[in-house]
Amino acid sequence: MTHEKIILATEGKENQRSIDTYLANGGYTAIKKAAKMDRKAIIDLVKASGLRGRGGAGFPTGLKWSFVPPDDGKPKYLICNNDESEPGTFKDRHISSVNPHMIIEGMLIGGYTVGAEKGYIYSRWEFQLEIGYLEQAIKEAYEAGFLGQNIFGSGINFELDHYSGAGAYICGEETGLISSLEGKKGQPKLKPPFPALEGYLRRPTVVNNTETFCNIPHIITHGAEVFRRYGTEKSPGTKLFSISGALNRPGVYEVPLGYSLKKLIEEDCGGLKDGKKIKAVVPGGMSAPLLMPAQVETATLDYECMQEMGSMLGSGAIMIIDDQQDVVDLLRITTDFFAHESCGQCTPCREGTGWLKNLVNGILEGTEGPAAVDRIYQVADHMEGRTICALSDAAAWPAKSYVKNFGEEIKAYIEKKGNRA
């Protein structure tokens, strides 16, 4: 099934990354249009489009941009969050290697709108190839006059730099990213104050996901109505889903929001291979609660449906858990990951993630009895909603989900291992 590619417009084309391909595809026209628009009009347009942040939180982009205070003569900053650390997500990496110029154009428009004259693309350090592509794209944009001072005579100034992280999931959190960018330990900051008022170097800062920026040129060029052609009322537009698992055709797919999950799995991805069956589906990155097969039948890929089903759309990383996979091992991967990545600032997360990891490893070693399963749920339950950032929640949700949906299976595993109670 073919879908219209908006964000991945240059995918598959020869020299897909180069600025020439981008220009030939109608690139860098949106910024020229935006440069003539009033800043407030752009914000209203983005609000009307209903674009929601594509990084995971789904916060309305227009609303976020409207929080930035008016000019006070001091600098403001625009940051593209290309940290993409949510396990299972590889869409931003794909964008960076397929259509990097769209990110730049989106940032140009964003920078003009909020009054930021300095932007950073913050990529995770593991994107060794993609960092090269982005830096090349930035260089090309400067050379072509689309970055720098007074770009194409419009009076807009925008300097763009690339900055890479050093291997921390927590730097995908916007204030953790800002701390890292400031050269400090990537630890999230207390909110309030919010970054839009006090962010990078205590100046107003807007942080948006790579994919979010990629939607902006399309909205400016074609308007809110055309944008809303795809998607649902509350979740308009298209989204990139990175889908993985024992599928025939895993990969990154750009589909309209509200698309049927079942269709994506069976038609676009060609279903599971080797006769495997779906045991559970993770719809939005490793921190999203599981969807069971019954839910997968009717699930649609939009923010509301996922929330109703007790999960979240998140970053759109879909992972298929098949019936031959060991649930306890998956739980171990989850708890090990969050224990490794917790920044250690606030106590419930720091101690809770360590405790969860410890419990699950105890189950695997054979030193924990069936009471450990309920203990995992209890600990995770008390980690939620008590911390500076959402890592603690992100660690708690999958743990609770596994226990809720596969509690019996884990207990059977424990019994089989012959642990003492």
Rounded-to-integer distance, Cα 106 and Cα 237, Å = 15
92, 119, 316 from 124: Cα distances, Å: 11, 16, 18
Least separation in angstroms between residue 391's CB and another protein is 10
User: If binding is defined by CB under 8 A, does position 240 make contact with another protein?
Assistant: no
* Least spacing, CB of residue 413 vs another protein, in Å: 18
The C-alpha angle with vertex 404 and arms to 400 and 409, in degrees rounded to 5, equals 115
Binding marks (x or -) toward another protein, 107..126, rule CB under 8 A? Answer: --------------------
Hunting for tokens 């038609």 — which residue is that? 267
The first and second tokens of residue 376, run together, are 């995992």
CA distance linking residue 180 with residue 315, whole number of Å: 21
| Closer by beta carbon to another protein, 280 or else 363 | 363
Token pair in block for residue 371: 């009471």
> Is the distance from CB of 413 to CB of 397 less than 8 angstroms?
no
Residue 242 or 335 with smaller CB distance to another protein: 335
Shortest distance, position 414 Cβ to another protein, whole Å: 14
Residues contacting another protein: total by CB under 8 A: 32
Q: Is 353 in the site for another protein (CB under 8 A)?
A: yes
Please pick, from the candidates 16, 260, 325, 358, the single residue that binds another protein as defined by CB under 8 A. 358
The C-alpha angle with vertex 376 and arms to 374 and 381, in degrees rounded to 5, equals: 95
- Provide the 3-class DSSP secondary structure of residue 263: helix
3-class DSSP assignment, residue 28: coil
| Least spacing, CB of residue 85 vs another protein, in Å | 14
Q: Which of 359, 373, 390, 399 binds another protein (CB under 8 A)?
A: 359
Q: Report whether the peptide linkage leading into residue 70 is cis, meaning its omega lies within 30 degrees of zero.
A: no
CB of 189 to another protein, least distance (A): 9
> Which residue's CB is nearer to another protein, number 132 or number 385?
385
In sequence order, what E strands does 135-269 have? 159-164, 205-209, 238-244, 251-256, 259-260
Query: 102 near 22, Cβ under 8 Å?
Result: yes
Q: Which of 120, 345, 363, 410 binds another protein (CB under 8 A)?
A: 345
Binder of another protein out of 28, 112, 213, 355 (CB under 8 A): 355
Contact pattern from residue 153 through residue 192 relative to another protein, giving x for each residue in contact according to CB under 8 A and a dash for the rest: ---------------x-x--------------x----x-x
Q: Shortest distance, CB of residue 181 to another protein, whole angstroms?
A: 17
- Asked if residue 382 binds another protein (CB under 8 A), the reply is yes
Q: Is 199 in the site for another protein (CB under 8 A)?
A: no
| 343 in contact with another protein (CB under 8 A) | yes
Residue 335 belongs to what H/E stretch? helix 327-341
417 is a site residue for another protein (CB under 8 A)? no
Q: Look-up: residue for tokens 């347009």?
A: 45
Q: Does 378 bind another protein (CB under 8 A)?
A: yes
Q: For residue 321, what is the enclosing H or E element?
A: strand 317-322
Residues forming contacts to another protein in the complex (CB under 8 A) are: 168, 170, 185, 190, 192, 339-348, 350-355, 358-359, 362, 375, 378-379, 382, 385-388
